[in-house]
A and B are shown apart, each in its own frame.
Chain A
Amino acid sequence: MTEGQVWEALAEIPDPEIPPISIVDLGVVRDVSVENGRVHVEFTPTFLGCPALEVMRDQMAERIRKLGAEPDVEVVLDDSWSTDRITPEGRAKLRASGFAPPSPREAGGPKLVQLQARAFKCPYCGSKETRLENIFGPTPCRSVRYCESCRQPFEQFKTI
Chain B
Amino acid sequence: MSERAQQLLEIADDELILGWRNSEWTGIAPFLEEDVAFSSIAQNEIGHARALYQLVAEELGTTADELAFDRKPEEYRCSRFVELRLVPDWARTIARHCLYEQADEERIKALTASDDERVAGLAAKIDREEAYHRMHAQMWFDRLQDEPQFLEALEELRPLVVERGEHLPEFEQLWEEMTEVRRSFAGATW
A residues contacting B by CB (< 8 A) are: 47-51, 77-80, 109-112, 115, 133-138, 140, 144, 158, 160
Contact = CB atoms under 8 A, between A and B. Distances in A.
Given A47-B44, A112-B138, A138-B36, 14 more contacts: A49-B50, A51-B43, A77-B121, A77-B122, A77-B125, A78-B122, A109-B131, A110-B131, A115-B135, A134-B36, A135-B139, A136-B37, A136-B40, A137-B36
20 contacts: A47-B44, A48-B44, A48-B47, A48-B125, A77-B55, A77-B121, A77-B125, A78-B122, A78-B124, A109-B131, A110-B131, A110-B135, A112-B135, A134-B37, A135-B37, A136-B37, A136-B132, A136-B136, A140-B47, A160-B129
B54 interface: yes
B132 A48 contact: no
A3 B43 CA distance: 35
A6 to B, nearest CB: 25
A71 B130 CA distance: 33
A136 B51 contact: no
A77 B118 contact: yes
Interface string B121-147: 110111111011001101100000000
B125 A78 contact: yes
Given A49-B50, A77-B55, A79-B121, A134 B128 contact: no
Interface of B: 33, 36-37, 39-41, 43-48, 50-51, 54-55, 118, 121-122, 124-129, 131-132, 135-136, 138-139
A55 B18 CA distance: 26
A48 B33 contact: no
Contacts, number: 78
A140 B43 contact: yes
A137 B131 CA distance: 15
Nearest to A115: B135
Residue picked from B36, B40, B41, most chain A C-beta under 10 Å: B40
Contacts of B44: 47-49, 140
A49 B139 CA distance: 23
Residue picked from B55, B122, B127, most chain A C-beta under 10 Å: B122
Given A134-B37, A140-B40, A78 B121 contact: yes
A76 to B, nearest CB: 8
B136 A140 contact: no
A138 B43 CA distance: 12
Given A47-B129, A110-B131, A136 B122 contact: no
Residue picked from A80, A133, A135, A140, most chain B C-beta under 10 Å: A135
